[in-house]
Amino acid sequence: ETGVTQTPRHLVMGMTNKKSLKCEQHLGHNAMYWYKQSAKKPLELMFVYNFKEQTENNSVPSRFSPECPNSSHLFLHLHTLQPEDSALYLCASSQELAGRTYEQYFGPGTRLTVT
Amino acid sequence: AQSVTQPDIHITVSEGASLELRCNYSYGATPYLFWYVQSPGQGLQLLLKYFSGDTLVQGIKGFEAEFKRSQSSFNLRKPSVHWSDAAEYFCAVGGNKLVFGAGTILRVKS
C-alpha cells in the first residue's frame, strides 16, 4: 500500500544522536497519528494532529518531539533516546468528522533500535 | 471511556479449518468497529469495518465479522484458514478516538 509512507524503515541510533522519522499520507485525510508498538505491549498512541494542530499528547517524554507542517506530513524528532525507546513506530492517518474518528490507515512503520 | 478486550492472546488452527477471533468492546454510544491485521514488522492493514446497517460485514481476504449489540461483541470469522493468514489481529472501537485491543496472534499449522 502507498497511502501512507514512512521513512526510514529501519533506524539504529545512539543515545546521544538526533534523528527524525518522516510520515506522508496521500489520502487527503485531516488527522495524523504517531503510535509506538513495543514487543508484548499494546499499541500506544503518542500524538494526534488534526488539521495540523496537536490535539493529543499522551504523556510522551520530551525527547520525542512531533511536527506537523501540513495535513499530509508528520515528523517525529528524536533526541537523547533511551534503550527502552526501541520499538516499531507507526504513523497513521484518518478522516475526522464531527468529533468522530473513522478508520485509520497505517504506514509500514520505522523499526527503531537505540544502542 | 472506550475499551476493547481480545480474550485470546494466541490461537492455533489447522490450515483449512474455520477461525473465530473474539472481540468485546465497551462504548456508551453506537460504536464504529474495526478489525486490522499485522504481519511481522509491518503496519496494520484494515480488514473490515462496521459503522451501521447490516450487522454482518464482509472484508478483504475472505474475512467477515458480526456485530452483536446485546453481547457487545464484534467477532472475526473466516470459514477456511490459509497459511498466509498467520499474523496478529487487532480489534478496535472508534468514538472520538480509536482504541485498540491487545491483539490475538494467529498461528496456522499445516
Q: What is the pLDDT of residues A71-101, one digit of tens each?
A: 899 999 999 999 999 999 999 999 888 777 7
* Residue A46 or A42, more confident: A46
Give pLDDT, residue A99: 75
Cβ distance of A101 and B44 shorter than 8 Å? no
What type of residue is B88?
E
**B52 CB within 8 Å of a chain A CB:** no
State mean pLDDT over B2-29: 95
Burial A81-113 (b: 16+ CB within 10 A, else e): beeebbbbbbbbbbebeeeebbbbbbbbbbbbe
Q: Given a cut of 90, is residue B46 above it in pLDDT?
A: yes
Dihedral (C-alpha) B52, A45, A34, A11: value to the nearest 10 degrees?
-130
What type of residue is A103?
E
Q: Given a cut of 70, is residue A1 above it in pLDDT?
A: no
Q: Are A107 and A4 in contact (CB under 8 A)?
A: yes
* Residue A59 or B20, more confident: B20
How close is the nearest chain A Cα to the Cα of B38, in Å?
10
- Nine-digit cell string for B48: 473490515
Q: B37 contacts in A (CB within 8 Å)?
A: none
Q: What is the pLDDT of residues A9-23, one digit of tens each?
A: 999 999 988 999 999
The partner residue sitting opposite B46, judged by closest CB among A43, A99, A103, is: A103
Q: Given a cut of 70, is residue B18 above it in pLDDT?
A: yes
Distance CA(A107)–CA(A101), nearest Å, equals: 18
B93 pLDDT band, cuts 50/70/90, is very high
Q: Given a cut of 70, is residue A103 above it in pLDDT?
A: yes
